[in-house]
A = this chain, B = another copy of it.
Protein backbone atom coordinates (compact mmCIF):
# COMPACT_ATOMS: atom_id res chain seq x y z
CA UNK A 1 0.00 0.00 0.00
CA UNK A 2 0.95 3.62 -0.55
CA UNK A 3 0.64 6.39 1.97
CA UNK A 4 -1.43 9.40 1.05
CA UNK A 5 0.09 12.86 0.93
CA UNK A 6 -0.36 14.28 4.42
CA UNK A 7 0.57 17.86 3.50
CA UNK A 8 3.20 18.20 6.18
CA UNK A 9 3.96 21.87 5.81
CA UNK A 10 2.85 24.69 8.04
CA UNK A 11 3.23 28.28 7.01
CA UNK A 12 0.72 29.76 9.45
CA UNK A 13 3.24 31.36 11.78
CA UNK A 14 5.93 31.99 9.20
CA UNK A 15 3.89 33.91 6.68
CA UNK A 16 1.01 35.34 8.65
CA UNK A 17 0.00 37.07 11.83
CA UNK A 18 -1.95 34.42 13.68
CA UNK A 19 -4.64 35.76 16.01
CA UNK A 20 -5.66 32.35 17.36
CA UNK A 21 -5.23 32.62 21.15
CA UNK A 22 -4.35 28.90 21.25
CA UNK A 23 -1.24 29.58 19.20
CA UNK A 24 0.06 32.88 20.59
CA UNK A 25 1.81 31.54 23.70
CA UNK A 26 3.34 28.47 22.12
CA UNK A 27 5.55 30.05 19.49
CA UNK A 28 9.10 28.78 19.96
CA UNK A 29 11.99 31.17 20.50
CA UNK A 30 15.20 30.27 18.71
CA UNK A 31 16.63 28.67 21.86
CA UNK A 32 13.77 26.17 21.90
CA UNK A 33 14.10 25.52 18.17
CA UNK A 34 17.72 24.64 18.77
CA UNK A 35 16.73 22.27 21.60
CA UNK A 36 14.17 20.68 19.31
CA UNK A 37 16.87 20.05 16.75
CA UNK A 38 19.22 18.61 19.36
CA UNK A 39 16.61 16.33 20.90
CA UNK A 40 14.68 15.40 17.79
CA UNK A 41 15.26 11.64 17.86
CA UNK A 42 12.88 9.25 19.62
CA UNK A 43 13.68 8.91 23.31
CA UNK A 44 16.32 11.64 23.05
CA UNK A 45 16.23 12.86 26.65
CA UNK A 46 16.69 9.34 28.02
CA UNK A 47 20.37 8.75 27.15
CA UNK A 48 21.45 9.12 30.77
CA UNK A 49 18.36 7.90 32.57
CA UNK A 50 18.86 5.90 35.74
CA UNK A 51 15.20 5.05 36.09
CA UNK A 52 13.40 8.34 36.63
CA UNK A 53 12.76 11.02 34.02
CA UNK A 54 12.50 13.73 36.67
CA UNK A 55 15.93 12.81 38.03
CA UNK A 56 17.86 12.85 34.76
CA UNK A 57 20.89 15.15 35.05
CA UNK A 58 21.93 15.24 31.38
CA UNK A 59 20.09 17.19 30.15
CA UNK A 60 19.42 18.58 33.63
CA UNK A 61 15.72 17.76 33.93
CA UNK A 62 16.15 17.56 37.69
CA UNK A 63 17.51 21.14 38.00
CA UNK A 64 14.90 22.34 35.55
CA UNK A 65 12.08 20.89 37.67
CA UNK A 66 13.53 22.60 40.75
CA UNK A 67 13.63 25.92 38.90
CA UNK A 68 10.14 25.34 37.59
CA UNK A 69 8.73 24.54 41.05
CA UNK A 70 10.34 27.74 42.35
CA UNK A 71 8.94 29.71 39.47
CA UNK A 72 5.35 28.57 40.07
CA UNK A 73 5.53 28.43 43.87
CA UNK A 74 4.99 24.72 44.42
CA UNK A 75 6.95 22.16 46.42
CA UNK A 76 7.06 19.66 43.57
CA UNK A 77 6.84 19.93 39.81
CA UNK A 78 6.49 17.29 37.15
CA UNK A 79 6.08 17.50 33.42
CA UNK A 80 2.96 15.85 32.06
CA UNK A 81 1.64 15.68 28.49
CA UNK A 82 -0.53 18.74 28.94
CA UNK A 83 -2.79 20.52 31.40
CA UNK A 84 -5.59 18.01 30.81
CA UNK A 85 -3.36 15.06 31.64
CA UNK A 86 -2.29 16.90 34.80
CA UNK A 87 -5.90 17.44 35.84
CA UNK A 88 -6.70 13.81 35.17
CA UNK A 89 -3.73 12.63 37.25
CA UNK A 90 -4.83 14.72 40.24
CA UNK A 91 -8.49 13.68 39.99
CA UNK A 92 -7.51 10.05 39.51
CA UNK A 93 -5.20 10.06 42.50
CA UNK A 94 -7.51 11.94 44.86
CA UNK A 95 -11.02 10.87 43.93
CA UNK A 96 -12.96 7.67 43.56
CA UNK A 97 -15.68 6.96 41.02
CA UNK A 98 -18.88 8.60 42.21
CA UNK A 99 -17.10 11.38 44.11
CA UNK A 100 -18.25 14.94 43.62
CA UNK A 101 -16.04 17.82 42.58
CA UNK A 102 -16.88 21.50 42.19
CA UNK A 103 -15.86 23.26 39.00
CA UNK A 104 -16.26 26.78 37.64
CA UNK A 105 -18.85 27.41 34.96
CA UNK A 106 -16.16 28.60 32.53
CA UNK A 107 -14.09 25.41 32.82
CA UNK A 108 -12.38 24.06 29.72
CA UNK A 109 -13.96 20.99 28.17
CA UNK A 110 -10.96 18.91 29.17
CA UNK A 111 -11.81 19.49 32.83
CA UNK A 112 -15.17 17.89 32.14
CA UNK A 113 -13.53 15.04 30.22
CA UNK A 114 -10.96 14.36 32.92
CA UNK A 115 -13.78 14.19 35.47
CA UNK A 116 -15.88 12.00 33.19
CA UNK A 117 -12.92 9.65 32.68
CA UNK A 118 -12.70 9.35 36.49
CA UNK A 119 -16.49 8.91 36.72
CA UNK A 120 -16.93 11.92 38.98
CA UNK A 121 -20.00 14.04 39.54
CA UNK A 122 -19.53 17.63 38.55
CA UNK A 123 -21.18 20.52 40.31
CA UNK A 124 -20.82 23.77 38.37
CA UNK A 125 -20.31 27.14 39.96
CA UNK A 126 -22.35 29.48 37.76
CA UNK A 127 -20.75 32.49 36.13
CA UNK A 128 -22.43 35.87 36.19
CA UNK A 129 -24.74 36.88 33.36
CA UNK A 130 -23.94 38.28 29.94
CA UNK A 131 -21.80 40.12 29.03
CA UNK A 132 -19.30 39.62 31.86
CA UNK A 133 -19.49 35.89 32.63
CA UNK A 134 -17.48 36.46 35.78
CA UNK A 135 -16.73 33.66 38.24
CA UNK A 136 -17.14 35.10 41.72
CA UNK A 137 -15.75 33.83 45.02
CA UNK A 138 -19.17 34.23 46.61
CA UNK A 139 -20.63 31.87 44.00
CA UNK A 140 -18.12 29.22 45.02
CA UNK A 141 -19.03 29.80 48.65
CA UNK A 142 -22.72 29.50 47.82
CA UNK A 143 -22.26 26.21 45.96
CA UNK A 144 -20.09 24.79 48.73
CA UNK A 145 -22.60 25.84 51.38
CA UNK A 146 -25.39 24.18 49.39
CA UNK A 147 -23.42 20.98 49.04
CA UNK A 148 -22.52 21.05 52.71
CA UNK A 149 -26.17 21.52 53.68
CA UNK A 150 -27.04 18.47 51.63
CA UNK A 151 -24.35 16.49 53.41
CA UNK A 152 -22.46 16.05 50.16
CA UNK A 153 -18.71 15.48 50.42
CA UNK A 154 -16.58 17.38 47.92
CA UNK A 155 -13.28 15.74 47.00
CA UNK A 156 -11.75 18.52 44.96
CA UNK A 157 -12.38 22.08 43.86
CA UNK A 158 -11.25 23.11 40.42
CA UNK A 159 -10.86 26.65 39.20
CA UNK A 160 -9.90 27.85 35.73
CA UNK A 161 -7.44 30.66 36.36
CA UNK A 162 -8.07 32.26 32.97
CA UNK A 163 -10.76 30.68 30.84
CA UNK A 164 -10.53 30.09 27.11
CA UNK A 165 -13.87 31.61 26.19
CA UNK A 166 -13.65 35.13 27.61
CA UNK A 167 -10.12 35.41 28.96
CA UNK A 168 -11.53 36.24 32.38
CA UNK A 169 -8.90 36.22 35.11
CA UNK A 170 -10.44 34.74 38.25
CA UNK A 171 -9.77 35.65 41.86
CA UNK A 172 -7.95 32.41 42.63
CA UNK A 173 -6.57 33.64 45.92
CA UNK A 174 -10.03 34.26 47.40
CA UNK A 175 -11.51 31.06 46.01
CA UNK A 176 -8.49 29.11 47.27
CA UNK A 177 -9.06 30.64 50.69
CA UNK A 178 -12.69 29.47 50.64
CA UNK A 179 -11.56 25.99 49.58
CA UNK A 180 -9.15 25.89 52.49
CA UNK A 181 -11.82 27.04 54.92
CA UNK A 182 -13.81 24.03 53.81
CA UNK A 183 -10.74 21.79 54.01
CA UNK A 184 -11.00 20.89 50.33
CA UNK A 185 -7.94 20.93 48.04
CA UNK A 186 -8.02 23.27 45.07
CA UNK A 187 -6.60 22.62 41.62
CA UNK A 188 -5.96 25.74 39.58
CA UNK A 189 -5.95 25.30 35.82
CA UNK A 190 -3.31 27.72 34.60
CA UNK A 191 -3.24 26.64 30.96
CA UNK A 192 -3.84 30.23 29.85
CA UNK A 193 -1.85 31.89 32.63
CA UNK A 194 1.31 29.95 33.56
CA UNK A 195 4.00 31.22 31.22
CA UNK A 196 2.08 34.36 30.31
CA UNK A 197 1.65 36.01 33.69
CA UNK A 198 3.34 35.43 37.04
CA UNK A 199 1.86 32.50 38.96
CA UNK A 200 2.57 31.61 42.55
CA UNK A 201 0.55 28.64 43.71
CA UNK A 202 1.18 29.34 47.39
CA UNK A 203 0.04 32.96 47.12
CA UNK A 204 -3.01 31.83 45.16
CA UNK A 205 -3.87 29.24 47.82
CA UNK A 206 -3.73 26.47 45.22
CA UNK A 207 -2.84 22.95 46.26
CA UNK A 208 -2.26 21.99 42.64
CA UNK A 209 -1.55 23.96 39.51
CA UNK A 210 -1.43 22.68 35.97
CA UNK A 211 0.06 24.53 33.03
CA UNK A 212 0.40 23.97 29.32
CA UNK A 213 3.74 24.17 27.56
CA UNK A 214 2.24 24.34 24.07
CA UNK A 215 -0.44 26.85 25.03
CA UNK A 216 1.45 29.35 27.14
CA UNK A 217 5.07 28.35 27.77
CA UNK A 218 6.73 28.61 24.35
CA UNK A 219 7.12 24.85 24.04
CA UNK A 220 6.41 22.22 21.42
CA UNK A 221 3.31 20.18 22.26
CA UNK A 222 2.43 17.96 23.91
CA UNK A 223 3.87 19.08 27.22
CA UNK A 224 2.35 20.31 30.44
CA UNK A 225 3.27 21.09 33.99
CA UNK A 226 1.86 19.70 37.23
CA UNK A 227 2.86 21.48 40.42
CA UNK A 228 1.77 20.48 43.89
CA UNK A 229 2.17 21.11 47.58
CA UNK A 230 4.20 18.65 49.53
CA UNK A 231 1.19 17.44 51.51
CA UNK A 232 -0.27 15.92 48.33
CA UNK A 233 2.91 14.30 47.08
CA UNK A 234 2.20 11.02 48.83
CA UNK A 235 -1.13 10.69 47.05
CA UNK A 236 -0.34 12.07 43.60
CA UNK A 237 3.29 10.99 43.28
CA UNK A 238 2.73 7.61 44.93
CA UNK A 239 5.24 5.02 43.83
CA UNK A 240 4.68 1.57 42.46
CA UNK A 241 4.70 -1.40 44.83
CA UNK A 242 6.47 -3.48 42.19
CA UNK A 243 8.84 -0.91 40.69
CA UNK A 244 9.97 1.14 43.66
CA UNK A 245 11.18 4.29 41.91
CA UNK A 246 8.33 4.66 39.43
CA UNK A 247 5.43 7.02 40.07
CA UNK A 248 2.10 5.41 39.30
CA UNK A 249 0.13 8.42 38.08
CA UNK A 250 3.02 9.34 35.78
CA UNK A 251 3.07 5.74 34.44
CA UNK A 252 6.77 5.85 35.28
CA UNK A 253 7.83 8.60 32.93
CA UNK A 254 5.84 11.20 31.06
CA UNK A 255 7.49 13.55 28.58
CA UNK A 256 10.15 11.26 27.16
CA UNK A 257 11.16 13.30 24.12
CA UNK A 258 11.68 16.59 22.36
CA UNK A 259 8.87 18.72 23.88
CA UNK A 260 10.42 18.69 27.36
CA UNK A 261 13.69 19.93 25.87
CA UNK A 262 11.86 22.89 24.31
CA UNK A 263 10.12 23.68 27.60
CA UNK A 264 13.51 23.64 29.34
CA UNK A 265 15.10 25.86 26.71
CA UNK A 266 12.22 28.33 26.93
CA UNK A 267 11.97 28.54 30.72
CA UNK A 268 14.55 31.33 31.17
CA UNK A 269 12.76 33.39 28.51
CA UNK A 270 9.35 32.59 29.95
CA UNK A 271 10.55 33.73 33.38
CA UNK A 272 11.50 37.04 31.81
CA UNK A 273 8.41 37.50 29.72
CA UNK A 274 5.95 37.11 32.59
CA UNK A 275 7.56 40.21 34.13
CA UNK A 276 6.28 42.17 31.14
CA UNK A 277 2.73 40.92 31.48
CA UNK A 278 1.37 44.39 32.29
CA UNK A 279 2.61 45.60 28.92
CA UNK A 280 0.83 42.72 27.18
CA UNK A 281 -2.42 43.59 28.96
CA UNK A 282 -2.05 47.26 28.10
CA UNK A 283 -1.35 46.40 24.45
CA UNK A 284 -4.49 44.25 24.38
CA UNK A 285 -6.61 46.96 25.99
CA UNK A 286 -5.43 49.49 23.41
CA UNK A 287 -6.25 47.00 20.67
CA UNK A 288 -9.71 46.41 22.11
CA UNK A 289 -10.23 50.18 22.27
CA UNK A 290 -9.34 50.62 18.63
CA UNK A 291 -11.61 47.81 17.49
CA UNK A 292 -14.53 49.03 19.59
CA UNK A 293 -14.13 52.48 18.06
CA UNK A 294 -15.05 50.99 14.69
CA UNK A 295 -18.61 50.64 15.96
CA UNK A 296 -20.48 47.35 15.97
CA UNK A 297 -17.59 45.64 17.74
CA UNK A 298 -17.84 44.94 21.46
CA UNK A 299 -15.54 43.07 23.77
CA UNK A 300 -17.38 40.84 26.20
CA UNK A 301 -16.11 39.29 29.42
CA UNK A 302 -14.48 41.35 32.18
CA UNK A 303 -13.71 44.94 31.14
CA UNK A 304 -11.16 46.30 30.85
CA UNK A 305 -9.74 42.94 29.96
CA UNK A 306 -7.11 41.44 32.23
CA UNK A 307 -5.78 38.96 29.64
CA UNK A 308 -4.68 38.84 26.02
CA UNK A 309 -7.46 36.42 25.00
CA UNK A 310 -10.44 38.58 24.13
CA UNK A 311 -13.84 37.77 22.78
CA UNK A 312 -15.61 40.24 20.55
CA UNK A 313 -19.19 40.40 19.48
CA UNK A 314 -19.12 41.79 15.97
CA UNK A 315 -22.59 42.70 14.64
CA UNK A 316 -20.86 44.94 12.09
CA UNK A 317 -19.23 41.95 10.38
CA UNK A 318 -22.39 39.92 10.64
CA UNK A 319 -24.25 42.67 8.85
CA UNK A 320 -21.67 42.81 6.07
CA UNK A 321 -21.79 39.01 5.75
CA UNK A 322 -25.51 39.12 5.13
CA UNK A 323 -24.99 41.38 2.15
CA UNK A 324 -21.70 40.05 0.85
CA UNK A 325 -21.50 37.64 -2.11
CA UNK A 326 -19.03 35.50 -0.08
CA UNK A 327 -21.36 35.61 2.92
CA UNK A 328 -19.67 34.66 6.19
CA UNK A 329 -16.40 33.81 4.49
CA UNK A 330 -15.67 37.42 3.61
CA UNK A 331 -14.01 38.29 6.92
CA UNK A 332 -11.63 35.32 6.85
CA UNK A 333 -10.78 36.09 3.24
CA UNK A 334 -10.28 39.81 3.74
CA UNK A 335 -7.98 39.14 6.68
CA UNK A 336 -6.14 36.40 4.82
CA UNK A 337 -5.42 38.80 1.96
CA UNK A 338 -3.69 40.95 4.55
CA UNK A 339 -1.76 37.98 5.95
CA UNK A 340 -3.81 37.83 9.10
CA UNK A 341 -5.21 34.45 10.17
CA UNK A 342 -6.56 32.67 13.23
CA UNK A 343 -10.22 33.65 13.05
CA UNK A 344 -12.28 30.70 11.91
CA UNK A 345 -13.60 30.62 8.36
CA UNK A 346 -17.20 31.69 8.21
CA UNK A 347 -17.26 33.27 11.63
CA UNK A 348 -18.59 36.83 11.68
CA UNK A 349 -20.97 37.20 14.63
CA UNK A 350 -18.25 36.92 17.20
CA UNK A 351 -14.68 35.78 17.46
CA UNK A 352 -11.88 35.24 19.94
CA UNK A 353 -8.43 36.58 19.29
CA UNK A 354 -5.16 37.52 20.87
CA UNK A 355 -2.28 39.82 19.98
CA UNK A 356 0.00 38.30 22.61
CA UNK A 357 3.66 38.52 21.67
CA UNK A 358 3.15 40.78 18.68
CA UNK A 359 5.07 44.05 18.44
CA UNK A 360 3.15 47.30 18.70
CA UNK A 361 3.77 47.79 14.99
CA UNK A 362 2.16 44.44 14.22
CA UNK A 363 -0.81 45.20 16.46
CA UNK A 364 -1.25 48.56 14.75
CA UNK A 365 -1.21 46.82 11.39
CA UNK A 366 -3.89 44.39 12.60
CA UNK A 367 -6.10 47.21 13.95
CA UNK A 368 -5.75 49.08 10.66
CA UNK A 369 -6.68 45.96 8.74
CA UNK A 370 -9.96 45.64 10.64
CA UNK A 371 -10.62 49.36 10.11
CA UNK A 372 -9.95 49.03 6.38
CA UNK A 373 -12.35 46.10 6.09
CA UNK A 374 -15.08 47.99 7.90
CA UNK A 375 -14.70 51.06 5.73
CA UNK A 376 -14.43 49.04 2.50
CA UNK A 377 -17.94 47.71 3.13
CA UNK A 378 -19.37 50.93 4.40
CA UNK A 379 -22.17 50.67 1.85
CA UNK A 380 -23.46 47.27 2.98
CA UNK A 381 -22.94 47.45 6.75
Give chain A's interface residues, CB within 8 Å of chain B.
1-10, 12-13, 20, 22-23, 25-28, 32-47, 58-61, 63-64, 66-67, 70-71, 81-82, 84-85, 88, 92, 109-110, 112-114, 116-117, 213-215, 218-223, 240-243, 246, 248-249, 251-252, 254-259, 261-262, 264-265, 267-268, 271
Contact = CB atoms under 8 A, between A and B. Distances in A.
Contact of A109 (B39, B246, B258): B246
Contacts of A38: 8-10
A338 to B, nearest CB: 18
Given A1-B271, A25-B42, A252-B109, A240 B36 contact: no
A47 B67 contact: no
A101 to B, nearest CB: 14
A241 B40 contact: no
- Count copies of this chain in the complex: 2
Contact of A252 (B47, B61, B113, B214): B113
Contacts of A243: 109, 112-113
Contacts of A81: 81, 85, 222, 254
B33 A40 contact: yes
Contacts of A7: 58-60
Contacts of A219: 42
Q: Which 5 A-B pairs have the closest CB atoms?
A: A26-B42, A221-B257, A42-B214, A4-B63, A3-B268
A271 B84 contact: no
A214 B261 CA distance: 15
B8 A28 contact: no
28 contacts: A6-B59, A6-B60, A8-B34, A8-B38, A8-B261, A8-B264, A9-B38, A10-B44, A12-B44, A22-B43, A25-B42, A27-B42, A28-B41, A37-B37, A41-B220, A42-B221, A43-B215, A112-B240, A112-B243, A113-B246, A113-B251, A116-B242, A116-B248, A117-B248, A214-B256, A220-B258, A221-B257, A222-B256
